[in-house]
Structure 1
Amino acid sequence: MTNDSLDRRADALARDSYYEATASRPLADDPMLDGIHEADVCVIGAGFAGLSVALECRARGLSVIVVDAHRPGWGASGRNGGQTLVGFAKDEVIEKQLGLDGARAAWAMSVEGVALVRERIARYGIDCDFTPGYLTVATKPKRVPDLRAWMEAASSRWGYGNLSWLDTDAIRARIASRNYLAGVYDPLSGHLHPLKYCLGLADAARLEGAQLFAHSPVLEVVRGSRPVVRTATGEVRCRFVAACGNATLGDVLPAEVASRIAPIASYIVATEPLGRERANSLIAGRAAVCDNNFFLDYYRVAADHRLLFGGRASSTGASPAQLGEEIRQRMTGVFPQLSDVKIEFAWGGFVDVTRNRAPDFGSIDSNYYYVQGFSGHGVALTGVAGRVVAQAMAGETGAFDLFAKLRHARFPGGPAFRGPALELGMLYHRIRELF
């Protein structure tokens, strides 16, 4: 899938977004990049990661320009499930590659990422409906030992002792569904309205003195001691570049780096408002919920008393209209008591995943950084990414070097063949989950 076709698919997936319908964007977009500009740092991408880099660099006194092909929050940052999580998509990969001490350090930074989200919400007065509490649940007998082992590893090996085990009776007391056999409760993680949060970060970046430019896709980065970031109508001459565009960045990064991630489409539906009492009856305390299957379901109750239910990964990007009924059936499989409820919104977007589901932070040159491959853990982890990149620019490379030690394999084939190859791989995992 080329970048232009990916952009068109991503545009189509967002047309019926609950988040866009319930967030207040500025009346006018940021200007297009026009002419020659100079800055210490040029950030490519105005999502969570890019805006975090901008805020962290401004805190260190560096001048910052952020350029985006669309506008803040257009990509995954403005349309994801909103789960704000500690840890990583595949924690065992982190320990296998970084060792026990490295895994503990990485986990500590992931916890810092959740704390950073809360800190920025408070500091900048971002109204994004943050709600604490997260439940990871098991739907199959064979998944219960896996969940228990993960909880025990988090506590005894990775230094995170906040988790509580819930047996079958306890998890069914928390969630009004008979589907779950066990669960783990995390009081620190939670959920939020991602687009409201992203727009709040953009406002914060402007307030702190960063310049934001919209509708300015980057055509090339001219590498060197003073890199130049070029668009169709302008350029930024800078000391440092940070590429933070993830799945829709296009050809900005070298092929050997860009091929380490693949765009996987994920979909969410939002019900009609259920009313406070009915919504509260579904999940005690309104914690976010996610199962521990390979193709997982995730859901939460929004501030306006709707249920938001997501899942059904796809690399080819079928439309929400095609998949909305399938997701509705999954939702009523969890909550049969919602069979009378209407679906009012259905939307999707592309998640950038790596083959090992570990984040990919690295550098092309000593002054050209990139962060990608958040693999579904981007709400909190992008804040950490922004901080470690800004620290590296200032010569404090310890945290960045830790993540850069993670090894990543390329996805087979070029962009045209990546989608079909992924579909075959995903079909294999779907078949395995039937047993």
Structure 2
Amino acid sequence: MNEEIQALQNNKTWSIVPLPPNKQPIGCKWVYKVKYKPDGTVERYKARRDIVKLPELIMGENQHVCKLHKSLYGLKQASRQWFLKLSSALQAGGFTQSWSDYSMFIRKFQDKVTVLLVYVDDVIIAGNNLQDIEATKQFLAGRFKLRDMGTLHYFFGIEVARSRQGIVLSQRKYALEVLEDAGFLGAKPSKYPIDQNLVLTKDDGVLLQDASQYRRLVGRLIYLTITRPDLVYAVHILSQYMDKPRQPHLEAAYRVLRYVKHTPGQGILLPSHGHLELTAYCDADWARCKDTRRSTTGYCLFLGKAPVSWKSKKQGTVSRSSAEAEYRSMATTCCEITWILALLRDLHVNHKEAVQLFCDNKAAIHIASNPVFHERTKHIDIDCHVVREKVQRGLVKPIHVRTNEQTADLFTKPLGLKQLIALLGKLGVINIHTNLRGSIKERNQN
């Protein structure tokens, strides 16, 4: 608390003045937080001043108050003003702001590339030259009071492990916290995140009297999907019933928890070898939703052998054929490919070849390659333009893949154990807490 007060005074955040007549002061409070390491041990104790709307404020006998000159935590413009100050300092230091991701700043000089990723007041620095990274730290230290946390190991619940094979991202500590919060640390593990024959609708079962427990659980599971593509489809299904959840929906969420209990340390491997070539898989499950008969879009993108993007989402309109559903999925994937390519350009990665887009529907590939619009494609005219433009410009190359080799199946439908394990191997999903070498060897064989 003393360190926080001293920092605010050093920054000349306020001045002590008498309370002006006919003015109502706002209150403040202390917010305490304990920061933990990935192994659960205490890293440090943190305290900060926060602004709250209180009708009364205890002041001294002389009725003196703090007149703010700068933003504090809790004020609506605090984060905006901080980001403006930080971005201005970075741009003065030779960094340019990415047009694809405004929270990323890049500086390139000759063959040296340094990248900063900003989240509020936390910054991750990466680059290919250690001297340039150290110079960047010194530059920031000269303008801000900062704490150098060293090599990245833990960031907002994401654990980072390094080896010669590559980098593994996982959320084991966060997964165990979710299980503990739900009381499932002693639950029987499950090998599936969702039953293969399960069909959920909005009217099945008894309506939950208190929906807050379900919403909190699904919300925490959504954050867990950052490093767990095996949970994406199941969580996508559960999130559709946040408005009025029922008992079957809660039981399905408990099934996901039992699967997390079986694999708490599972994460994704970003290999240190391989070419920086972007490939994509897209798939659709036609009319999967029983309530609306809308199809489900699923895709995953790889940079070399590293999975960099994946998604499962219900389509906005009803598709009248499986080919139409697949084509809408292809259009959504093309938009993601366009953004990833722009991000790579900002990172000075030159992607010369067309992105291979694998789809298991020949009709959708034929529509993408056919330059003639006809009666059967009028209702998907916009999607046709989106995909066809990318194909004609040479940015995307649609390629047919057999259904049993479609990696994006993981994001469109519940799978059996054998197919689930096979696709997780292709996605680079491993558990470093069990058998890292065996997982990597099996993945390379696949």
Q: Where on the TM-score scale, by shorter chain, does this alignment land: which range? A: under 0.3
Query: TM-score normalized by structure 2?
Result: 0.22
Structure possessing the higher relative contact order (Cα contacts under 8 Å, 6 or more residues apart): 1
Give the number of the structure whose alpha-carbon radius of gyration is greater. Answer: 2
